[in-house]
Amino acid sequence: MSLIELKDVSKLYGFGDATSVALDEVNLTIESGECVAVMGPSGSGKSTLMNMIGLLDHPTHGDYVLNGKRVSHISVTRRAKIRRDKIGFIFQSFNLLGRLTALENVALPLLYKGFPTSKRNHIARTMLERVGLHDRTYYYPRQLSGGQTQCVAIARALVNSPEIIIADEPTGNLDTESSRLVMELLGEIHKSGNTIIFVTHNPELTRYATRVVYMQDGAIKYDEQTKLGEVGTYARKVMYAVPDTTEEDDLAGVSVLMKVRKDDTVKPSTKRKRTPARRKARLTRSEDGRKAQS
Ligand SMILES: Nc1ncnc2c1ncn2[C@@H]1O[C@H](COP(=O)(O)OP(=O)(O)OP(=O)(O)O)[C@@H](O)[C@H]1O
Ligand SMILES: [Mg+2]
pLDDT along the chain (294 residues), means of 10: 96 89 97 97 96 95 96 93 93 92 95 92 95 95 95 94 95 90 93 96 95 96 94 81 54 45 40 52 52 48
Would you kindly state where each structural domain of the chain is located, as residue ranges? 4-240
Q: According to the model, what pLDDT value does residue 115 have?
A: 93
Which atom number of ligand 1 is nearest to the Cα of residue 201? 25
For residue 22, report the distance from its CA to the centre of ligand 1, in Å.
6
Q: According to the model, what pLDDT value does residue 250 have?
A: 53
CB-count exposure of residue 194 (10 Å: 0-12, 13-18, 19+): buried
Q: According to the model, what pLDDT value does residue 260 have?
A: 37
Are the C-beta atoms of residues 62 and 42 closer than 8 Å to each other? Answer: no
> What residues are in contact with ligand 1 under a 6 Å CB criterion?
13-14, 20, 22, 40, 42-48
Give phi and psi for 67, each to the nearest 5.
55, 40
Cα–Cα distance for residue pair 25/79, rounded to 1 Å: 22
Which residue out of 19, 23, 44, 50 has the highest number of ligand 1 atoms within 8 Å of its CB and is therefore the one to mutate? Answer: 44
Q: According to the model, what pLDDT value does residue 236 have?
A: 83
For residue 264, report the distance from its CA to the centre of ligand 1, in Å.
35
For residue 52, report the distance from its CA to the centre of ligand 1, in Å.
12
Which atom number of ligand 1 is nearest to the Cα of residue 48? 18
Q: According to the model, what pLDDT value does residue 217 have?
A: 95
Ligand lying nearest the CA atom of residue 60: 1
Q: According to the model, what pLDDT value does residue 16 have?
A: 82
Ligand lying nearest the CA atom of residue 202: 1
Q: Could you tell me which CATH class the domain 4-240 is placed in?
A: alpha beta
**Helix 176-191 crosses helix 146-158 at what angle (to 10 degrees)?**
20
| 140 closest CA partner among 94, 95, 92, 100 | 100
For residue 287, report the distance from its CA to the centre of ligand 2, in Å.
62
pTM across the whole model: 0.81
Ligand lying nearest the CA atom of residue 14: 1
Q: According to the model, what pLDDT value does residue 271 have?
A: 44
User: What's at 225, amino acid-wise?
Assistant: Q
Q: According to the model, what pLDDT value does residue 247 have?
A: 57
- In three-state form (DSSP H/G/I as H, E/B as E, the rest C), the secondary structure along 82-103 is HHHHHEEEEECCCCCCCCCCHH
